[in-house]
Amino acid sequence: MRREAAVRNWKRVIQITVDLGVNVINTEFSGRPERAEESERAFFRSMEELLPIFEREGIDVRIDPHPDDFVEDGLEALRIIRGVNSPNIGMVYVACHTYHMGGNMTEIMRAAGDRLRLVHVADTMDHHRSHGLRYITNPPGNPARVHQHLKIGDGDVDWDEFFGGLAEIGFYDRPGHRDGVVGVRRGRERPRRVALSTGHHGDCINTTNEEHNAINTITTGSTKGSNT
C-alpha cells in the first residue's frame, strides 16, 4: 500500500510540474538497502506505471543514489537506470555521496555518459579512512550512513578528478549548460533563478535556465518497507 500511495503522490507531483511549466524532476531511489531486491522490484513496478506519463509530458527524471537508499553504489545505480530503458531517466551525481557510491568518480562518470544530467557540488569526509573507524556509531553494527555537505576544500573529495571527469564526458558542452554551471549545485550558494524544491535537504536549490527548470522531490518508488 505504501508503494501505491507513493505512485499516487508522484502523479500529483507530475501534474504540478506540468502546471508550472517545469520539465525536470530530481529525486532519489529511496527503499531500504537491507531489502534491496524487494525495493528494486517495487521501483520497477512503480516505473511501469509512471514512465508513460513522464514520456508523454516530456519530463526528464534524474535520480540520485542517496546514502541509505536500496542502491547506493554508482555503477549499480546506472544498471537500474539503464534497465528502465527510457531517454527520460537520467542520473544525478552528488559529489559528497562519492564514498558511498564506491569512490570511483571517473569510472562512474564515463559509464554514465549522457545519462549524467545533474551534479551537486559539496565536499565530504571519506568515512572509509582509518580502517573504517573514522566515525564510530553506536550500537555497533547499526545501519547509519555518515556523510557531510561541506564547502569545497573542507573534505576529501578529489576536485581535480571530479571536474576533469565532467569535462572528459562533455558535461559542460551540452545545450543549456550555460558557462558550465547549469545543473550544478554549489554547496549553499543560491542561484539567481530557482524553481521549486521539496525533499529532506532544506538547502537543495538547483540552478535553472530557460531550457531546464527543475523540481526536487524524493522517493521514486516509495518502497520504504513494502512492495505491494
Give 2-216's CATH code, choosing from 3.10.290.10, 3.50.50.60, 3.30.230.10, 3.20.20.150.
3.20.20.150
Domain extents for the chain? 2-216
Residues 49-81 pLDDT 10s: 999 999 999 999 999 998 888 998 999 999 999
Of 176 and 106, more confident? 106
- Tell me if the pTM is above 0.85: no
Residues 190-201 pLDDT 10s: 333 333 333 333
Residues 86-117 pLDDT 10s: 999 999 999 999 988 988 999 999 999 999 99
Strands 184-186 and 60-64: unpaired
Q: Counting beta carbons within 10 angstroms of the beta carbon of residue 53, is it exposed (0 to 12), middle (13 to 18) or buried (19 or more)?
A: middle
Three-state DSSP class for residue 148: coil
Q: Nearest Cα to 191, choosing from 199, 182, 200?
A: 182
- The partner residues of 116 in beta bridges, in order of sequence, read 91
Per-residue pLDDT at 130 exceeds 90: no
Q: Confidence band (pLDDT; 50, 70, 90) for 222?
A: very low
Three-state DSSP class for residue 89: strand
pLDDT of residue 128: 64
pLDDT of residue 203: 32
Q: Report the half-sphere exposure of 35 (CA within 13 A, side-chain side).
A: 15
User: Could you give the CA distance from residue 72 to residue 177 in angstroms, rounded to a whole number?
Assistant: 26
Residues 150-172 pLDDT 10s: 899 988 899 999 999 999 999 99
pLDDT of residue 176: 62
pLDDT of residue 219: 41
